[in-house]
């Protein structure tokens, strides 16, 4: 069996070679360097001790907990936004549609800066929430807010095309057969949407796990309390503790790869539903 | 009833989470008046950060644009083993934390790293210097153009290219006159997204830059520095430029989508008779 199926088009060798070389220089070699460094500079026991230290586990708990909460919020509100954008005509629909991509386009540092200010004591939202006893800025909740902002487009943009392509006729058939509005929703629409929704959820979760820029503005950044894993890596680097930083980075890489494999599987599953 | 309730919730959510943060950037930036806004922007270190950001984007966006086009040609026009793996590799920066990405380059080029001593002996500095910032930015932004072009070029197949080749065009001519015009809007969209991310990247750049004001500080890093110096108005001033960039990006994107749908309608009008005359 040949490596490549024959094609009349020219340029495969050149473009394929360039692509692989570029990827090797930019991704594979740096990633290999990190892994090699960890493998040669510490024993498994040392690595395990660094990766499971109390301070590290506290950051995993915060990073995962807040990312999960944000991804769940995004699943709910993202579905709502996608539904409204795909199904309804109303004034401002186009503006809303364009705005959904705003978190993609806005640098994360700016997002963190403005969200922290909005929810601070004299910010536009904080001044109403603080008297009610709801503290957002510099708490766990603030991290969730920042991660929700950053991950919102993923759910909307994964669901929207599926909703737009959803066969109206199937719904109408269900309705003709006597299914009520809720029953149609749960037995016709929900099963079709589930794979796409899971994909969007996983994408937004993965994005939140690695997020750094927006969180450090709105978090208290206190050790054991408001410190996310990427921030602990940065602190380790600032202390010239390269081994500590690399051990944590490898843990994060393992998480990322696991999620990436999961997302790929989900996307393949979701595309089966599309046809 | 249901319709308007859902629309209201959606608009309230978008208003709180998307519009308010945006409006707040400009409000806070101008809170001390236009005069102090402009003074904050022409401050030497801030000007240097703007120049550096433009330089970094000016190097990394064209490189990644070229890579995106080349990779899309290889992936979309040919079938080969390991294509799924290659696509996963192209997606990798989306799921690797920017901080980890920055650290990888520190391990490779930093003083403690593999090439650190050699670079130092040859008086070259990559980490805590502009090349490191460019490398980190390249890593974070290389998927954007490729990801935009691959599905487009796959959907278009290669019939037209084959026709051009049969008519005697060479490979480059085919690409330039046949492939490129048909994906130009997608390419442009990929480029502006890549640019937005390149100018706004924070985590990866923060790790490799060393953050020396006036030398290795990009605009997002400048925002943080000013904020930590309790100079919120100036931080918002620099942030407002980045927010303008985001708005511009969204504007161009909306315009491109509009153009694309117009062209699609037009091409369908032209193609309709031909599908009738060739029922097979």
ipTM of the complex as predicted? 0.90
Report how many Cβ contacts below 8 Å link chain A to chain B.
278
Q: What is the DSSP letter of B177?
A: I
* CA quadruple A168, A174, A178, A181: dihedral sign: negative
Say whether residue B153 is in contact with chain A using an 8 A CB cutoff: no
Which residue's structure tokens are 């629309």?
B7
The chain B residue lying nearest A24, using CA atoms, is B89
Q: Does A233 touch chain B (CB under 8 A)?
A: yes
Q: Do A260 and B243 touch (CB under 8 A)?
A: no
Percent of residues, chain A, with pLDDT higher than 70: 98
Which distant-in-sequence residues (6+ apart) come within 8 Å of A195 by Cβ? A266, A269, A270, A272, A273
> Which residues in chain A are contacts of B202 at CB distance < 8 A?
107-109, 212-213
Residue contact A237–B7, C-beta within 8 A: no
Chain B hits for A10, CB-CB cut-off 8 Å, are 165, 170-171
Interface of B with A in 216-255 (CB under 8 A): 219-221, 223-224, 227, 232, 235-236, 239, 242-243, 245-247, 249-251, 253-254
- What integer pLDDT is reported at residue B208 of this predicted model? 94
pTM: 0.91
| Average pLDDT value for chain A | 91
Q: Which chain A residue has the Cα nearest residue B228?
A: A217
The reply to whether B99 touches chain A by the CB within 8 Å rule is: yes
pLDDT digits 0-9 by tens, A182-209: 888 888 788 888 989 999 999 999 999 9
Q: Does A189 touch chain B (CB under 8 A)?
A: no
Tell me the CA distances in angstroms from A262 to A38, A267, B91, one per residue in order.
Answer: 25, 9, 13
pLDDT of residue B267: 75
**A266: number of CA atoms within 13 Å, CB side?**
18
CA distance A33 to chain B (A): 6
| Position A128 pLDDT exceeds 90 | yes
pLDDT of residue A1: 47
Is A35's Cβ below 8 Å from some Cβ in B? no
Specify whether the CB–CB gap between A11 and B73 falls below 8 A: yes
Q: What pLDDT score was predicted for residue B261?
A: 83
Structural domain boundaries of chain A? 43-274
Report DSSP state, residue B175: I
Q: Does A86 touch chain B (CB under 8 A)?
A: no
- The DSSP 8-state label assigned to residue A4 in this structure reads B
Q: Using the predicted structure, report yes or no on whether residue A231 has a pLDDT greater than 70.
A: yes
Domains of chain B, each with CATH number or no CATH: 19-266 (1.10.3720.10)
The 3-state secondary structure of A129-161, one letter per residue: HHHHCCCCCCCHHHHHHHHHHHHHHHHHHHHHH
Position B270 scores a pLDDT of 59
Of A206, A212, A246, nearest to B203 by CB-CB distance is A212
The answer to whether residue A254 neighbours chain B at the CB level (below 8 Å) is no
Are B171 and A9 within 8 A, CB to CB? yes
Question: How many degrees, rounded to 5, is the angle at CA A114 between CA A111 and CA A120?
Answer: 130
Would you state the pLDDT for residue B252? 93
Q: Quickly state the pLDDT bin for A234 (edges 50, 70, 90).
A: very high
Q: With respect to CATH, is domain A43-274 assigned 1.10.3720.10?
A: yes
Residue with tokens 């959606």: B10
The residue of B94, B203, B222, B258 whose CB has the most chain A CBs within 10 angstroms, and thus the best one to mutate to test that interface, is B203
Looking at the complex, report in whole angstroms how far the Cα of residue A89 sits from the nearest Cα belonging to chain B. Answer: 10
Alpha carbon separation from A88 to A164, B2, B15, B76, B257 (Å, rounded) = 11, 11, 18, 35, 19
Residues of chain A with pLDDT > 90, as a percent, come to 70
Task: Please report residues of A whose CB lies closer than 8 A to that of B111.
Answer: none
Spatial separation of the C-alpha atoms in residues A126 and B116, rounded to whole Å = 47
Contact A23 B175 (CB under 8 A): no
Residue B257: name the closest of A274, A166, A155, A94 by CA.
Answer: A94
Q: What is the pLDDT along chain B (280 residues), one digit of tens a residue?
A: 888 999 999 999 999 999 999 999 999 999 999 999 999 999 999 999 999 999 999 999 999 999 999 999 999 999 999 998 899 899 888 889 999 999 999 999 988 888 888 888 888 888 889 999 999 999 999 999 999 999 999 988 888 999 999 998 888 999 999 999 989 999 999 999 999 999 999 999 999 998 888 889 999 999 999 999 999 999 999 999 999 999 999 999 999 988 888 887 887 765 544 333 333 3
Q: What are the pLDDT digits (tens) for A242-252?
A: 999 999 999 99
Say if residues B210 and B216 touch (Cβ distance below 8 Å): yes
User: How high is the pLDDT of residue B273?
Assistant: 43
Residue of A nearest to B249 (CA): A105
pLDDT of residue B58: 97
Chain B touched by A220 (CB under 8 Å): no
pLDDT of residue B271: 52
Residue B66: count other Cβ atoms within 10 Å of its Cβ: 13
Chain B nearest-CA residue for A214: B202
């Amino acid at each position: 069996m040949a490596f490549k199926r024959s094609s009349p088009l020219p340029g495969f060798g050149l473009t394929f070679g360039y692509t692989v070389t570029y990827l090797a220089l930019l991704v594979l070699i740096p990633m290999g360097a990190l892994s090699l460094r960890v493998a040669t500079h510490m024993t498994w026991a040392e690595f395990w001790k660094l990766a499971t230290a109390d301070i590290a586990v506290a950051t995993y708990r915060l990073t995962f907990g807040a990312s999960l909460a944000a991804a769940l919020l995004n699943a709910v509100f993202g579905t709502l936004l996608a539904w409204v954008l795909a199904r309804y005509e109303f004034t401002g629909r186009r503006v809303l549609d364009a705005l959904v991509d705003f978190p993609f386009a806005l640098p994360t540092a700016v997002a963190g800066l403005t969200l922290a200010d909005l929810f601070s004591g004299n910010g536009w939202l904080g001044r109403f929430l603080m008297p009610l006893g709801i503290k957002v800025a510099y708490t766990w909740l603030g991290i969730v807010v920042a991660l929700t902002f950053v991950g919102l487009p993923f759910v909307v943009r994964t669901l929207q095309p599926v909703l737009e392509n959803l066969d109206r006729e199937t719904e109408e058939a269900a309705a003709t057969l006597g299914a009520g509005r809720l029953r149609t929703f749960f037995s016709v629409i929900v099963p079709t949407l589930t794979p796409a929704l899971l994909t969007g959820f996983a994408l937004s979760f993965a994005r939140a796990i690695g997020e750094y820029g927006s969180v450090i503005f709105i978090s208290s950044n206190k050790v054991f309390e408001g410190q996310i894993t990427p921030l602990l890596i940065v602190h380790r680097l600032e202390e010239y503790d390269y081994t500590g930083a690399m051990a944590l980075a490898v843990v994060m890489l393992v998480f990322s790869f696991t999620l990436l494999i999961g997302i790929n599987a989900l996307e393949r599953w979701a595309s089966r539903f599309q046809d | 009833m249901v319709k308007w309730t859902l629309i209201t919730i959606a608009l309230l959510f978008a208003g709180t989470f998307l519009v308010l943060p945006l409006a707040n950037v400009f409000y806070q930036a101008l809170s001390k008046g236009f005069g102090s806004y402009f003074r904050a922007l022409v401050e030497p270190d801030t000007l240097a950060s703007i120049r550096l950001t433009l330089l970094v984007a000016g190097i990394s966006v064209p490189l990644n644009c070229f890579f995106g086009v080349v990779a899309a040609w290889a992936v979309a026009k040919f079938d080969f083993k390991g294509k799924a793996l290659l696509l996963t590799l192209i997606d990798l920066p989306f799921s690797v934390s920017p901080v980890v990405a920055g650290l990888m380059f520190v391990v490779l080029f930093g003083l403690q790293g593999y090439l650190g001593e050699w670079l130092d002996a040859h008086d070259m500095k990559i980490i805590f210097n502009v090349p490191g910032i460019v490398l980190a930015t390249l890593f974070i932004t290389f998927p954007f153009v490729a990801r935009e072009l691959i599905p487009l070029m796959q959907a278009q197949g290669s019939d037209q290219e084959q026709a051009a080749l049969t008519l005697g065009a060479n490979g480059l001519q085919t690409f330039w006159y046949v492939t490129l015009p048909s994906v130009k809007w997608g390419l442009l969209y990929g480029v502006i997204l890549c640019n937005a991310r390149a100018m706004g990247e924070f985590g990866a750049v923060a790790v490799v830059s060393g953050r020396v004001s006036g030398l290795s500080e990009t605009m997002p890093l400048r925002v943080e520095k000013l904020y930590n110096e309790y100079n919120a108005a100036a931080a918002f001033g620099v942030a407002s430029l980045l927010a303008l960039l985001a708005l511009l990006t969204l504007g161009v994107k909306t315009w491109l989508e509009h153009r694309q749908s117009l062209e699609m309608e037009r091409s369908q009008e032209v193609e309709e008779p031909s599908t009738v005359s060739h029922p097979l």
